[in-house]
Structure 1
């Protein structure tokens, strides 16, 4: 492989990772304060700080995105994601923030098309491997040498690493997604010492972050990786495997929603760990919001919207402001209603089938299991790291160019 060819790709991959996670947003905010999601982060840092970055990013990407007609063939599920992002413009209580979010997410399929145009599957892997190593290394040194930003200082998370991110869970989620991407793209890791090193680095970051959900996702990821390598041809992209993975996504989406219902009975509260009890109160409040508009939902970012305007009693109950439902399925249900949840499930099931076709059964299961587990206690499909998940997913979908 001619490594000099992918140097521009590595630089672009680093830029995309920084822009599609909440990395480095702590430099803009005082002391790396916790962000409560994409919309709030834009609110608190100021719209004027975000617009120029997105404008330049769109300008760079658009030049190559429209260079050749075939690049525009994004596929039906890419278009569905664009429509999904556009819905935010109609539902969000803060219209200007919704438009910025829409532009931000719309640029990600364009960036993926850029990689498809210039790089093959191995080169895409190399670009993102070096990019995640860069951001991971920055987080490692940030925690060691700039602890005022790199280590959480609040009473609940004191001493836990957050790196260049704004919260320890964000670092944990980023780390486990990065590991999943490497495992999904490169099953034969024994031939790739840098890939092994990248996984080792991100496991250190994951453990030091203390993110329980991310660790659970990592455990499931390792199990599925070993299982699919032993009992299955990881390159197999048969119709049966496509249906199995789609069913896996649908079932886990429903399970993550049912988990929030199981714990609503107060008699279970004594059995709930303290770290989860606050989530239980938030889920209960979420179901109350859902009951107000079951079909079409209340709109995106309603938790933060109501808290900021004093319409919620959650701060009095928990002692802090609530920015999300901390559950991907419930967040979708509250924001978009039953119609939106069905639409979301169809979209994710379709994407999972395409992923099996591109990278095989094993890689798809490894990567998707991480996302689904993270969705149990975090609103990953509305958080700052969700664009990074979509970016890595699109890169995986395009990496094999047909299997």
Structure 2
């Protein structure tokens, strides 16, 4: 009896029996040693060979920087402000090119993308509701155009999640945000006309390659968390990653943004202890932990809605924060007029010709958005849109916590780290369903990645 192992391809097989065989085997049981026809090169073989993966990585990193809002001041004539210049023709063409390239690069993975997308029920429902809102939108053409951008950015997120594992995603994000950190310093010191704020109330604050100091502070806060996670994952580059984290912290400080500081402190206080806490929790302890987390969020909201009283008690001068809560009170009156359906996607903050006119008349400044993500979604998509998003977010957050419990690899913490960053950003800023935005791209990518991990685990179990 002899054992013959054939290794002509990755699909190896073993033949056990007499050698040479005593009789001609049946055509239905041909062993591998009967030389199979050589494999023909496929599109996926070509795409995964030679220099193509490196080019795709460069494209992915550049796209992540653009989705984060980096370098856009160069394309928009150094405009300052927190709103994205959706009407910029140059910007539209750039993102259309990103959508097209991501579709071409995703062709080898199209079946897997469709398989995962079919399981993203809440995300699909949310995107469909965005599209349908054009039917009653105050500005239907704008709603439809921005909906296309939402779909295109979501597809890039799907491509990113399927093309790369979570470990690879962490590496690419760390590289992209590391480049952002370097570019911010270059713009601040070499091109201060771009790198610094020049508006009267924020003059001298750092904004780097972004349109506003608040964007710089949020991205730098998340960059700090990303490079520290990557430092855990890659001991060889740990020292360099720590240096980049410190450089990012400096940028948060010089942006003069209280929101960025709070997001950074929240990320550091929540994520890194979780690496040691979550693996030690059983199901009941995990439920207790999440309950405590929910009560903490509820307490934070209580403090937020009563911030004026608290500020008066401790005698702090924070007119900006008080101004935001005054805007929220006025916005609530607009929400009650379209409680269920909203004004339509991206159809509220349209300047003096849109519904935001009433808010601006009632305040002393022209707010670019509600400075609260859920209020903005409520304004645009009604309570139905808010409900779809919240149910989906809680579902993804639960999966991320369970996945982080097996945090053998620091990359396992990436989904939870982003979702915490996302949640912390929701209260002071408008970050949900922003067209061509890094929050939306990564939210889709993290949702798809967790489903992909679940699919792989079920496949191994079978």
* 3-state SS in 2 of match to 1:220: helix
Match of 1:195 in 2: 241
Q: Aligned match of 1:229 in 260, 269, 275?
A: 275
1:59 aligns with 2:103: no
Higher relative contact order (CA 8 A, sep 6+): 1
Cα separation, 2, equivalents of 1:250 and 1:93? 36
Q: Aligned match of 1:401 in 432, 453, 458?
A: 453
1:390 aligns with 2:437: no
* 3-state SS in 2 of match to 1:401: helix
Cα separation, 2, equivalents of 1:54 and 1:81? 21
- 1:112–1:97 Cα change, 3 Å: same
Conserved in 1, the CA contact under 8 Å of 2:138 and 2:348? no
1:15 aligns with 2:62: yes
Conserved in 1, the CA contact under 8 Å of 2:370 and 2:376? yes
Larger mean CA deviation between 365-374 and 128-137 belongs to 365-374
Deviation at 1:361, TM superposition (A): 7.5
Q: How many residue pairs end up in the alignment?
A: 393
Larger mean CA deviation between 68-77 and 171-180 belongs to 68-77
Match of 2:263 in 1: 217
Q: How does 1:42-191 map to 2 (within 5 A)?
A: 42-43=86-87, 45=88, 48-68=89-109, 69-75=111-117, 78-91=120-133, 92-183=137-228, 187-188=232-233
Deviation at 1:263, TM superposition (A): 5.4
Conserved in 1, the CA contact under 8 Å of 2:157 and 2:445? yes
Deviation at 1:259, TM superposition (A): 5.7
TM-score, length-normalised on structure 1?
Answer: 0.82
Conserved in 2, the CA contact under 8 Å of 1:221 and 1:370? yes
* 3-state SS in 1 of match to 2:371: coil
Conserved in 2, the CA contact under 8 Å of 1:245 and 1:356? no
- 1:86–1:245 Cα change, 3 Å: farther
* 3-state SS in 1 of match to 2:149: helix
Cα separation, 2, equivalents of 1:256 and 1:6? 45
Match of 2:384 in 1: 339
Q: Aligned match of 1:380 in 431, 435, 445?
A: 431
Larger mean CA deviation between 27-36 and 179-188 belongs to 179-188
Conserved in 1, the CA contact under 8 Å of 2:188 and 2:195? yes
Match of 2:6 in 1: none
Structure 1 unaligned residues grouped into runs of 5+? none
Cα separation, 2, equivalents of 1:389 and 1:248? 26
Deviation at 1:71, TM superposition (A): 2.9
TM-score, length-normalised on structure 2?
Answer: 0.72
Q: How does 1:269-284 map to 2 (within 5 A)?
A: 273-284=318-329
- 1:62–1:287 Cα change, 3 Å: same
Q: Aligned match of 1:354 in 374, 399, 414?
A: 399
Deviation at 1:272, TM superposition (A): 6.9
Deviation at 1:349, TM superposition (A): 0.8
